[in-house]
Amino acid sequence: MKLATLCYVHHEGKTLMLYRNKKENDYHEGKWNGLGGKFEDGETPEECAVREVEEESGLTMLNPVMKGHITFPLFDGVDDWYVFVFSTDRFEGSLIDSPEGTLEWIPDDKLSELNLWEGDKHFIPWLFQDKFFSARFDYKNGGFVNYTVKFY
């Protein structure tokens, strides 16, 4: 089982996205993702989110808001992934040359046009709602199968 965060930083009608094109053997290569990654020992979801965004973008999230939780059973064919999803429009700092890929501010109404994981097209709109979600997204051999969600 892997614990991870996925974070979306918003600013003036745009969302910071990461085009994964720099790491060798990157399972996400060629995809646009939010920022985030795996927990380090002893971290809370919020601490992981803030650390990962800073490492990948140079920005420090202020007041990250947990928007939901996603279970990805055997997402990579090996492990179940449990992902805490965060969003914020409050941050400080300046963008860096990310070691993970190319950073770009994408207009919110264009996010679904990116080369995203298919499931992301379903949950990204939920980031803009005033509801918390708990979802399960099923993939098989890298292909999207289906999802279920409960809103609170």
Q: In the prediction, which pLDDT does 26 show? A: 75
What is the pLDDT, as a whole number, of residue 45? 98
pLDDT along the chain (152 residues), means of 10: 97 97 81 96 98 97 97 91 97 95 97 95 96 96 94 98
pLDDT of residue 16: 98
The residues pairing with 150 across neighbouring beta strands, listed in sequence order, are 134
- Residue found under tokens 């965004």: 53
User: Domains of the chain, with CATH numbers?
Assistant: 2-151 (3.90.79.10)
pLDDT at 22: 85
| 140's tokens | 């098989």
DSSP string, 68-136: EEEEETTTTSS--EEEEEEEES-EEE-----SSEEEEEEEGGGGGGS---HHHHHHGGGGGSSS-EEEE
For residue 10, the model assigns a pLDDT of 98
- Furthest-apart CA pair in the chain: how many Å? 39
Q: So what's the pLDDT on residue 106?
A: 98
Radius of gyration of the chain (CA): 14
